Structure 1
Amino acid sequence: MAHFFKKFRKKFLVENRISRYLLYAIGEIVLVVLGILIAIQINDWNRDKNLYQEELESYNLIISDLKRDSILFHNYKITYDSFLDGYFKINKVSQNQGTFENVFPDFIAMNAEFNPVTQDNHQKNIDKLRNNEIRVSINKYFRRINQVKHAREEFNELITKESRPFFLVEQNILKNDVVFNYENRTFPPLLRVSTIDTAKFKESLKQSKAISLLSELRMSMGFYLAALDFAIIENQELITELENRIHNH
């Protein structure tokens, strides 16, 4: 091809056809520029295709972690609904409308957990996603996660700073023989074995501070569960949105 162009250039110069040579030269330059532009465009297409594939892979990883969150949320929901049920039953006991049968009173001293994985694994990479709608949806989900974390922290602070000091220390309602079970040193609540002396506990519920603390625990756990319910909804919505993006690519 180079030999072909060289032959034409020589022919034009020999015949002193300068105008045609200039026209040819311009045409040659145009062809070269077009070739460069086409090469750049193909490179851009390939780069965009690679970036899009990487983004789809990111969506799949996020979906996988969102589904792990979903399982955790389901377990948290079951566990902390039982806390809330316990507070209502204990309140009935305080009003002489029920007994401690089928009640696990240790909930007055137990912390709540909330450890989803998606935010920890992907928070730093969200800004790298090119789809703005997806970024907005994921950040919305993360804000909801932060709300549940805040609710958990409030509840745990109430347990550690108020409920335990009052019931376990001031009222001394722990059963020492259960706490020090030398035959089985497993943490009793893991075995669903109560460490609470229900007779002492019921007596402590006659105090206004006990009822006030019980009300605070009920409200704090209610806030936690309400925030968790919203997180469950947004978790499923985000999974659906990401799956639709993948299927419609």
Structure 2
Amino acid sequence: MGKYFKYAIGEIALVMIGILLALQINNWNEARKSSIKEATILNSLRSELMTSLKELKHDYEASQVFHQSTINIYDYIQTKPKLVDSMYSDFYKSVAFNYSFLKTSAYETLKSGNLDLIKSDSLRMLITDIYESGYQRIYKKIDTRRNAARLLFPYYQKHFRSILKGDSISGYKRLGIPNDYDALINDPEYETLIYEARAGRRGAEGELERTINAVENCINQINKYLKE
């Protein structure tokens, strides 16, 4: 009986070891599959963020130009210089804008049920903050009164006419020609609108800059994480 029990215990031990090994192999396979999925998702997100980063930088450069135009116009109102052709470009740019088309399909796929695949809490929070906060703040600037172009355009329609000057070789310029320049730079309503537009431009520019920095940081963190 002693030999039998020893044999039985040995068999049971072998079976348990076999089960534990099988479970360990299964867990290892599942972890490997999860890591592959995580890497695939992060690569898709990185590609999407890089595309959006180009869009954001383009919009930021344009925003700087439009912001400077509103600053220039506010100076015209204060100093009341003689009207010259170079001012026409500022008048037109004061109502120009760029609408950001930021890609979110990879994030939406991730958010639909795979967000927990990203094992790093800090990286997951960084990604979520960009899509749920950074991008949304930019869209809010576009959709609210702080949109300088939307704020100024009704006034612009009444007091300016737009022309296209140039040719296909040297390039075209869009210009805003005041109907009555002297009345324009002495109009308190226009001064108030330009003042508000200048503040709106500054706010939008700052939001773009913050989001660009966040996206660049996120891309760097993804690169670092994937190399670990």
Q: Which category describes the TM-score, using the shorter chain as reference length? A: 0.7 to 0.9
Task: Assess if the C-alpha contact under 8 Å between 2:41 and 2:106 holds in 1.
Answer: no
Task: Structure 1: state its 5+ residue gaps.
Answer: 1-17, 185-189
Matches within 5 A, 1:88-167: 88-94=71-77, 95-97=79-81, 99-103=83-87, 104=89, 105-117=91-103, 119-126=104-111, 127-128=115-116, 129-142=118-131, 143-154=133-144, 159-160=149-150, 162-167=151-156
Deviation at 1:39, TM superposition (A): 0.7
Paired residue for 1:78, among 61, 71, 74? 61
Task: Structure 2: state its 5+ residue gaps.
Answer: none
Structure-2 change in CA distance of 1:68 and 1:201 (3 Å): farther
User: Secondary structure, in 3 states, of the residue corresponding to 1:112?
Assistant: coil
Cα RMSD, aligned residues only: 2.6
CA distance in 1 between partners of 2:206 and 2:84 (Å):
26
User: Secondary structure, in 3 states, of the residue corresponding to 1:197?
Assistant: strand
Deviation at 1:108, TM superposition (A): 3.4
Task: Assess if the C-alpha contact under 8 Å between 1:56 and 1:246 holds in 2.
Answer: yes
Q: Which residue in 2 is equivalent to 1:224?
A: 204
Deviation at 1:152, TM superposition (A): 2.1
Q: Which residue in 2 is equivalent to 1:32?
A: 15
Structure (1/2) with the larger strand percentage: 2
Runs of 4+ in structure 1 off by over 4 angstroms are 155-158
Deviation at 1:23, TM superposition (A): 2.7
CA distance in 1 between partners of 2:141 and 2:39 (Å):
33
CA distance in 2 between partners of 1:212 and 1:44 (Å):
66
Structure-2 change in CA distance of 1:41 and 1:120 (3 Å): same
User: Secondary structure, in 3 states, of the residue corresponding to 2:174?
Assistant: coil
Task: Assess if the C-alpha contact under 8 Å between 1:205 and 1:211 holds in 2.
Answer: yes
Task: Assess if the C-alpha contact under 8 Å between 2:52 and 2:102 holds in 1.
Answer: yes
Of 25-34 and 148-157, more deviation after overlay is shown by 148-157
CA distance in 2 between partners of 1:65 and 1:201 (Å):
46
What is the TM-score normalised by the length of structure 1? 0.77
Kindly name which structure, 1 or 2, has the bigger radius of gyration based on alpha carbons: 1
* Identical columns (%): 15
Could you tell me which amino acid in structure 1 is paired with residue 80 of structure 2? N
